[in-house]
Structure formats: structure tokens, C-alpha cells
Amino acid sequence: MDKSSLENLVNDINTEEMLKEKLFYTKKHAAEILTQDEIDAAFDFCKGYREFLDYAKTERRAVAFAENLAKQNGFVEFEAGVKYNKGDKVYLNNRGKAIILAVIGEKSLYEGVKISAAHIDSPRLDLKPNPLYEDTELALFKTHYYGGIRKYQWTAIPLSLHGVFAKKDGSVIEVNIGEDENDPVFIVNDLLPHLAGEQSKRTLSQGIKGEELNILIGSKPFKDDSESELVKLSILNILYDKYGITEDDFLSAELEAVPAFKAKDVGFDRSMIGAYGHDDRVCAYPALTAILDIENPQKTAVVVLADKEEIGSQGNTGLESDFLRFFIRDLAIMQGGDGTVALRNSRCLSADVNAGMDPTFQDV
């Protein structure tokens, strides 16, 4: 090959490389596109995220967290019929299980609003309406699982109990047991390896069956050997002394069991967070903190943190209901506009968790 041909070949190669660099999409590692200051800011932001993960393990707790932060940042409870002005900050608590936050914009709602939506419910174990029973001198709760869980992952780990008892007199008693380091925790039993011969023959999805997800809550009998179900009686006596509840109150209770683990840094470099409930608090927390920082937006900014996504967004706190549409309609009416037109001109970023690549299971 003569010199001229070699130069042409080199030029062609350089041209191809330049075109590829210009036209191809090249996936880059975060370290290539983030500055050290941005990485430090991300780590700092996640300190608050870990606190959110530890506190907001249920949708009720997430709403309580969001409402408290909103009040601290100048948000007031929304009132239908009140005309709000640009820069006003309002929130709507929907039955303690979903929440909307809004900052009124300079432009009319006729021009639409900007919405960020995420969900705050996560897969868990719910107690059945009449859950407490005694068997072989142990007291347990019957459960049914909420959302998609891998049932074998819920055995032999510490569980905490959250929720409310709605009593006949109209009062509501909040329950939060197992998160404080001095609290007791609860567990779902599993078999010892040398007793699990038959269980080990099951498929992985059936290793633990739904009806076997019973939560162990006590073993100490009441100090009276003349009656049956003494362990159950002992548990009910403890609950009555602490909360003033009887077994009938479980019929109107809403109680959820979740992992009692705290959020922890993962890896020598602390570059990851291990915790229950990333789905979808990893989106809910940034949406919440973003709207807290907004001042005088052009268009009204709205964040909705919703319940029931894990089971199809049904119910009056899920996004299949009309609570968000009614909220925007009410705001539009207060400005003399049309709620339908406001919705038609709105845009929504609906964000949910995504799974990272696991090098061990790349085929999925």
C-alpha cells in the first residue's frame, strides 16, 4: 500500500470514529458524567431518604411524614371554596393514606398544571379481620399478603406492626410496634433444615404457602390454669392494658406487618442503600422534597403520593379513584375556570421504581 492509500485509509477510519462518536448512543457510567460535587450532593440527599425509609414503612406513615414536612414548609390544608393566589401552598390529606401537595402558579389553571405522581404503598403482610388465634400453646396472627411478595423471604426475619384500631366510640388508636430498639418484634416461623425434607421438595414459589404466613406474637400463658387458650388471653390482656382494645376491635382494624430492619448503607464504598420499601419511596421522596422547594412556578405544581398501586390502584385512596381529578377541578373552579379543560392541558410525570441489573441473574 502506497503512502497516499495509507493516508486515505487513516482518514476514513478517523471519519468513521468521529461519526460514531457523534451519532451513536454510548452508555456512560455515572462516574463519567457526574462531578464530585454532584456525587457528594447525592450522598447528602440520601441521608434524608434513609430517614424517610425508616419512618414511612406504610402508606399511613408516609402521609404523616409528608404532611408534617409540608406544614413546616408553609403549606396549609386545602379548603374547597377558598380562592388561592400565586405562590400559595396547599395540601390535601385523603383519609390518611394518600396526599396531594400543590403550589399555585402564576398562570391560570385553564392552561393546565404540572403533576408528579408516585405511590407510597409497598408489598407487605396484612392482618385478617379476625386474626388472633392460639395453637399448640402459641399465639399467632393470620395474615394475607398485599401486593406481589416472594413468600419465602418473609420467614424468620423481624417484623414490626403498624396501623390503626377504629373503635366503636369513633376514636382511632395508632399502633407502631417493633421499630424502636426497645420494642418487641414478631416473626413468621420456618422449619429447621433437618425437619424440612418434605418442604424442600416443593417448588420455590410454594416453599412457603400463603396460608403458612402466620405471625408468631406470644407464648406466655395467662396466670390461670383453669381455662383454655391462655396464651391468647394473655395477649389480649396486654393489648387491653396498653390500648384499651378487645378482640372485637380487630374487625375494624387495619394492621400491617413489615420488615423491622433499618435502612443501611451497602458496600465498602457505601454506594447503595439496603432497605424495605424502595418501591416506590425512591420516587415519592424526591417528588416530595422537590415541591417543598418550589416558589412561584409558572404553572401550578402538583405532587400526588397515592395508595393501592400494588393491587391495581383501586379504592378511594388509589389513583383509579377521582380524588386527584376533583382536587384539580376544585382549584380550577375557584379561578373561574373549567376543571376538564385544566386536566386536558395538564402534564403528568408518573414515576415508579425500576430494577437494577443483577450480574448473577442477567438473563431476566
The sign of the torsion formed by the CA atoms of 310, 312, 317, 319 equals: positive
For the segment 287-312, the average pLDDT, to the nearest whole number, is 95
| pLDDT given for residue 13 in this prediction | 61
| pLDDT given for residue 3 in this prediction | 58
Phi, psi of 258 (to 5 degrees): -135, 160
Q: Is 68 helix (H, G, I), strand (E, B) or coil?
A: helix
| pLDDT given for residue 19 in this prediction | 76
Q: In this structure, are residues 297 and 103 in contact, taking their beta carbons and an 8 Å threshold? A: yes
| pLDDT given for residue 338 in this prediction | 85
Task: Round to whole Å and give the CA distance between 233 and 235.
Answer: 5
Task: Round to whole Å and give the CA distance between 125 and 147.
Answer: 9
pLDDT at 9 over 80: no
Question: What is the four-CA torsion angle of 306, 312, 315, 317, rounded to 10 degrees?
Answer: 0
Q: In this structure, are residues 304 and 115 in contact, taking their beta carbons and an 8 Å threshold? A: yes
For the segment 257-268, the average pLDDT, to the nearest whole number, is 96
| pLDDT given for residue 22 in this prediction | 76
Q: Give the percent of the chain with pLDDT over 90.
A: 81
Q: In the numeric block, which cell numbers belong to residue 300?
A: 401550578
Q: Please write the tens of the pLDDT for every residue from 199-251.
A: 999 999 999 999 999 999 999 998 866 677 899 999 999 999 999 999 999 99
Mean pLDDT in the chain? 92
pLDDT at 47 over 80: yes
Q: Please write the tens of the pLDDT for every residue from 55-72.
A: 999 999 999 999 999 999
Q: Please write the tens of the pLDDT for every residue from 335-361.
A: 888 889 999 999 999 999 988 889 999
Task: Round to whole Å and give the CA distance between 67 and 63.
Answer: 6
Among 318, 300, 299, smallest CA distance to 309 is for 318
Q: Which residues pair with 160 in a beta bridge?
A: 258
Selected residue with higher pLDDT from 144 and 339:
144
pLDDT at 185 over 90: yes
| pLDDT given for residue 2 in this prediction | 61
| pLDDT given for residue 5 in this prediction | 60
pLDDT at 4 over 70: no
| pLDDT given for residue 288 in this prediction | 98
pLDDT at 122 over 90: yes
From first CA to last CA, the distance across the chain in angstroms is 49
| pLDDT given for residue 20 in this prediction | 78
